[in-house]
Amino acid sequence: DDSEAAEEMEDEIPVVICAAAGRMGAAMAAINSIYSNTDANILKWIEHSKLREINFKIVEFNPMVLKGKIRPDSSRPELLQPVSRDRASWGNVLGETLNFVRFYLPLLIHQHEKVIYLDDDIIVQGDIQELYDTTLALGHAAAFSDDCDLPASQDIHRLVGLQNTYMGYLDYRKKTIKDLGISPSTCSFNPGVIVANMTEWKHQRITKQLEKWMQKNVEENLYSSSLGGGVATSPMLIVFHGKYSTINPLWHIRHLGWNPDTRYSEHFLQEAKLLHWNGRHKPWDFPSVHNDLWESWFVPDPAGIFKLNHPNS
């Protein structure tokens, strides 16, 4: 019955989490934290854990769509190379290449008007329904967290060198960037957590726009991971400039992976609805900070492949 199917669809909250094969343990912890903090029918995951009752769908992402659109990172060129065709499943794509999966949300979600995208290095501490209910203004295809919404200095320490403006992501020495007319002091946003409207995304041809700015970077080297944000964030900053809604700051507390000395106050961490270990220092590795919060959601790998690199773990 179509009406019943539509009603059931409205009760679902689609959440996209992108993870390489070597980081499936991270995705499992993220899923566990979401599932344990909501009554909603979200996903289905692995049958060897308490998550065996929820629904899941593994969507194959072919990295060959990125061929010719990614400029190699001069410092770590191996991270931006798409894998061969016989390893096209997204679980086998090298980690940095997976940063571009969010550009192709319409390929991953077909039945839903609204979708949440999350990086795999996150933990959800609130009801995901709250994030899903984020209001997107008319004509906006997505909502992000403004980098100007960072916690007060008394709540976080040692974020020295952190970029929170477009200057940290775009090379303003290049004419193509100057011609955009975007002030370098404009507040940037973080695309590790996205609430997206699929109708607007497709109507505005967001994916095509992002691919255009990927291609321009290949040709002109407009931004680089040697700058503040890496090559996946920069196209989104251009395409969504002045055309996005904002997420409640408590639903994206980030930079926990910035350096091993970065720490939030315990009070602030308790109030946070979502924690994001963006940066090099992941909570399943050592050294890292606040990994006790992440480890409380960790679901051990029954195959024994994904292991924590923590002292005494």
Indicate if the pLDDT at residue 153 is higher than 60. Answer: no
H/E run at residue 123 = strand 122-124
For 206-265, the pLDDT digits (tens) are 999 999 999 999 899 898 654 444 578 999 999 999 999 999 999 999 889 888 887 888
Do 299 and 195 form a contact (C-beta atoms < 8 A)? no
Range of the domain at 17: 9-296
Q: Which residue carries 């409205």 as its tokens?
A: 10
Rounded to the nearest angstrom, the gap between the alpha carbon of residue 263 and the centroid of all alpha carbons in its chain is: 21
Reported pTM: 0.77
d(CA 217, CA 234): 10
Q: What percent of the chain has pLDDT over 70?
A: 73
Residue 310 domain-assigned (yes or no): no
Residue 274 domain-assigned (yes or no): yes
Residue 259 domain-assigned (yes or no): yes
Residue 301 domain-assigned (yes or no): no
Residue 4 domain-assigned (yes or no): no
Residue 280 domain-assigned (yes or no): yes
Residue 3 domain-assigned (yes or no): no
In this prediction, residue 310 carries a pLDDT of 79
Structurally, how many domains does the chain consist of? Answer: 1
Q: Which residue carries 């008007």 as its tokens?
A: 113
Residue 290 domain-assigned (yes or no): yes
pLDDT-derived band at 123 (thresholds 50, 70, 90) equals very high
Q: How does the average pLDDT of the chain come out, rounded?
A: 79
The enclosing domain of 94 has a CATH number of 3.90.550.10
